[in-house]
Chains A and B, each alone.
Chain A
Amino acid sequence: MTPLCCWNLEQIAPEDCSSLRPGEEALLFDRKQRFLRRCLECPRFLEDVRLLGNESDGLASLFPYAMEELLSQKMQLTALSRQFDSRNREIRFLHEIGQVLQSSMDLDEVLAMALTAVTSGKGFGLNRAILLLVDPERQLLRGHFAVGPRHRDEANRIWQEIASNDYSLEQMGQHFFEQKMVAEKDKFRDLLELLSVPLNRREHLFVKTLNEQRSLCVDDLYRETAIDRSQVEALGVRQLLLVPLVSHNNPIGLLLADNIINHQPIGEEDIHSLETFALPVSFAIERAAYYLKLQEKLAQITEANRRLKEQQNLILRMEKMALVGKLTANIAHSIRNPLTIIGGFARTLSRSTDLDDSRRSYIESIVKEARKLEEVLQEVLTYSESLHPTLDLWDVNQMLTGIYSGLSDDLRLHAIDGRLQLDPGLPLLRIDFKKLSYCIRSIISNALEAMPDGGSLNLSTRRQDDDALILIVDSGPGMDPETLQAATTPFFSTKDQGTGLGLSLCARILEGHGARLEIASELGVGTTFTIRLKLTSEGTHG
């Protein structure tokens, strides 16, 4: 048989083979490669094979089987290679998106990037992506953000824009984040609100998928019972992919994706890819949320620091003022004594000098000038004292809270059960904070020492008619009437140590406040100290 084709020649000329393409000139001299790459698809060669198969020995009739197998494997290889390319692209894409996700601390930026990736053709190419985030405070799976066209016209416009600009994925994400985020949020506001579901609706499709931490592709949403009808209508799509976002076993949110415009079926590979993608997205979202929290805390700390600095400055100023006060007091002392003597004797002299004595006017001048100097002195002192007013409006409850919190160690040490009960309706009172708190402290310290083996101490405030009462009740041994009487005299003390000034001084301080100290005591039961303060008319509730 004379072959129709050139397959039996070692070398051929370009015009011998119609299957060769430009750039394949090397095949003209390589029979094996030519056969493997071109002959198998050449109709003339195939015709030769067919004719050969008709010949008597029949050996050539086996050829087509081998060729069929070869071609099929070649096709498989091409398909695999294509798949490989696509996977390769996917990995590159994941890498690209991963870098952005890792570097960004801005929640919105992360979300813009993630959802752009889901919806862009260079990414997963789904039509629409909706993100629901867990709101732990409100116990809600809240519609947070969505990306995608609402209808076909918008889709065409967007796709054309993307095609004409040839953005990279990162550029697209960035572009979206900077220019479209706000509008997009607004566009989907209704849908996002409608899709929000309370976390306690455990049977709801969204919450259930989130809790089971397994992605799900619902093929016919209209036949799904675990979702509200209104939500199905609003989504307006038959097939919906649900991918839970989970980080460190914590549910972060739920990603919904669909092909609302082109209705292309969502395949196994889409689901698998999105699941892989969901992992870094979850981490990034969680991290961004933490970062946000961190920033809030930082702002709080910065604010606290600022206030602390303010306080420090205030203290510094007060210390300076205190120094000024000390200085003026010292000056006052050294000036006041001689002034008292000069002016005092001048007054004595003036009184014993006759009215018509010419020296009398000189003496009067001395009296007058000394008086003037004293007035100046007084003014300076009044100013420096006004820096630390003694009587002022104070919240007695606040004072007691402060005293009580300073007692905790003592109470523990003496095994005393302490209790603080404050009347919140008590108005501010005009008191000398330092003196009154000294007074209360010394009553309490007496009470504590009267209970060396433990007991109870009750501090309370109460309003009674026009009085504010501070009550200090102990469960100590109590006092008999004689001891009670003696207790308020100076330097009385049943204690071995101490000044013995305590209660008498308290009585004196309280007297200065227009207040009374009442002591009721019963042997074996305990003692009740009642400080009765007058409510001031200027007092305001606070």
Chain B
Amino acid sequence: MARLLVVDDERDIRHLYAAELADEGYQVETAGSASEAARILQERLFDLIVLDIQMKGESGLQLLQKIVKEKTDTAVILCTAFSCYKDDFSSWLADAYVVKSSDLTELKSEIARLLAKRAK
């Protein structure tokens, strides 16, 4: 079972994603900030991270740089309400960029695509 980490400072978003992704059959953990996520990542390995960008404290992009630097092969999907971060070159390090929506179809299909690519 693929292990997913959802990082978002909005509690309800975390709940929604956790519930929906669990329904898809993933094992989901959540973190309310970049620093909490960093701590969790030290302890456990994940296959994929769904990462918000604008959060209180450290931003998702800063966490993304750390994750890439660690050279883990964890896939990262930036999931944000902002589409403008596509222009920020540090966001180009992520494997996918999804704009938040109440319809989680795109997010789910990106997760499936990246996990399938990883399994190869």
A→B interface (CB under 8 Å) = 325, 329, 332-333, 336-337, 339-348, 367, 370-371, 374, 381, 385, 390, 434-435, 438, 489-491, 501, 505, 508-509, 512
Cα distance, A344 to B104, chains bound together (Å): 7
A333 CA / B81 CA spacing, docked (Å): 5
Chain A residue numbers with a CB within 8 Å of B81 are 332-333, 336-337, 340
Question: Using a CB–CB distance below 8 Å, which chain B residues touch chain A?
Answer: 10, 12-13, 16, 19-20, 23, 54, 68-69, 71, 81-84, 86-87, 89-90, 92-93, 99-104
What residues of chain A lie closer than 8 Å to B68, measured between beta carbons?
Answer: 490-491
Give the Cβ gap from A517 to chain B, nearest Cβ, in Å: 14
Q: How far is the CB of B96 from chain A (nearest CB, A)?
A: 12
| Closest beta carbon of chain B to A271's beta carbon, Å | 80
Cβ-neighbour of B102 out of A329, A332, A374, A490 (below 8 A): A374
Shortest distance in angstroms between B54's beta carbon and chain A's nearest beta carbon? 7
Report the tally of A-B residue pairs with Cβ distances under 8 A. Answer: 83
Question: How far is B102's CA from A348's CA once the two chains are assembled, in angstroms?
Answer: 10
Report whether A371 and B103 are in contact in the complex, using a CB–CB cutoff of 8 Å: yes
What is the CA–CA distance of A342 and B13 in the complex, to the nearest angstrom? 10
Give the contacting residue for B69; candidates A341, A344, A491; CB below 8 A.
Answer: A491
The contact of A341 among B12, B23, B87, by CB within 8 Å, is B12
A348, B20: Cβ atoms closer than 8 Å: yes
With contact pairs A329-B82, A505-B92, A508-B92 given, residues A337 and B13 touching in the complex (Cβ less than 8 Å): yes
Contacts A329-B82, A381-B83, A434-B87 given; does A346 touch B16 at CB 8 Å: no
Contacts of A346 in B (CB 8 A): 102
- Can you offer 15 A-B residue contacts whose CB atoms are under 8 A? A332-B82, A332-B83, A333-B54, A336-B99, A336-B100, A341-B12, A341-B102, A347-B104, A348-B23, A370-B102, A371-B102, A374-B102, A385-B83, A385-B84, A508-B92
Which A residue's beta carbon lies closest to that of B11?
A341
Q: Give the Cβ gap from A244 to chain B, nearest Cβ, in Å.
A: 69
Q: Is the CB of A329 within 8 A of B84?
A: yes
Contact of B89 among A344, A345, A374, A435 (CB under 8 A): A435
A433 to chain B, nearest CB (A): 12
Q: How far, in angstroms, from A282 to B45 measured CA to CA in the complex?
A: 92
Q: Which residues of B contact A340 (CB under 8 A)?
A: 13, 16, 81, 100-102
| A324–chain B nearest beta-carbon distance, Å | 12
Most buried by B among A342, A346, A347: A347
Task: Give Cα distance in the complex from A489 to B92, angstroms.
Answer: 14
- List the 10 shortest-distance A-B pairs measured between CB atoms, nearest first: A343-B102, A336-B81, A333-B81, A344-B16, A341-B12, A344-B102, A340-B100, A490-B68, A370-B102, A491-B69
Contacting residue for A339 out of B23, B54, B71, B102, CB 8 A: B102
Cα–Cα, bound, A325→B104 (Å): 25
Name the B residues within 8 Å of A343 (CB-CB). Answer: 101-103
Check A508–B93 contact: CB distance below 8 A.
yes
- Assess the B101–A348 pair: CB atoms within 8 A: no
Chief secondary structure at chain A's binding surface: helix
Known contacts A385-B83, A501-B93, A508-B92; A490/B54 CB under 8 A: no
Contacts of A491 on B, CB cut-off 8 Å?
68-69, 71
Chain B, residue nearest A338 (CB) = B12
A325-B87 Cα distance, complex, nearest whole Å: 13
A341 touches B92 (CB 8 A): no
Note all chain B residues with C-beta closer than 8 A to A341. 10, 12-13, 16, 102
CB distance from B83 to the nearest CB of A (A): 6
Which residues on B sit within 8 Å (CB–CB) of A434? Answer: 87
- B104: chain A residues at CB < 8 Å are 344, 347
A347 CA to B105 CA, complexed, in Å:
11
Q: Which residues in A have their C-beta under 8 angstroms from that of B13? A: 337, 340-341, 344
For B89, list chain A residues within 8 Å (CB): 435, 438, 501, 505
Q: Is the CB of A348 within 8 A of B19?
A: yes
Chain B residues within an 8 Å CB radius of A344: 13, 16, 20, 102, 104
Task: List A contacts of B93 (CB < 8 A).
Answer: 490, 501, 505, 508
A501: which B residues are within 8 A, CB to CB? 89-90, 93
In the bound complex, residues from chain B placing their C-beta under 8 Å from that of A337 are 10, 13, 81, 100
Closest residue of A by beta carbon distance from B53? A333
Additional A-B contacts beyond A341-B10, A505-B92 (12; CB < 8 A): A333-B81, A337-B13, A341-B12, A343-B102, A344-B16, A344-B20, A348-B23, A385-B84, A491-B68, A491-B71, A501-B89, A501-B93
| Docked pose: A374 CA to B68 CA in angstroms | 32
B71–A490 touching, CB < 8 Å:
yes
Interchain CA distance A438-B71 in the complex, whole Å: 24
User: Are A347 and B102 in contact, CB atoms less than 8 angstroms apart?
Assistant: yes
Q: How far is the CB of A284 from chain B (nearest CB, A)?
A: 62
- Are A333 and B20 in contact (CB-based, < 8 A)? no
* Contact between chains at B87 and A367 (CB < 8 Å): no
Q: Which of B19, B86, B87, B102 contacts A342 (CB 8 A)?
A: B102
A509 to B86, CA, bound (A): 12
Q: Using known A-B contacts A337-B13, A341-B16, A345-B16, determine if residue A367 contacts B82 with beta carbons closer than 8 Å.
A: no
What separation, in Å, do the CA atoms of A329 and B10 have in the docked complex?
18
Kindly state the separation between the CA atoms of A491 and B93 in the bound complex, as whole angstroms. Answer: 11
Closest to B86 in A: A390
B119 → chain A closest CB, angstroms: 21
User: Which residues on B sit within 8 Å (CB–CB) of A509?
Assistant: 92
Residue in B16, B20, B90 whose Cβ sees the most chain A Cβ within 10 Å: B16
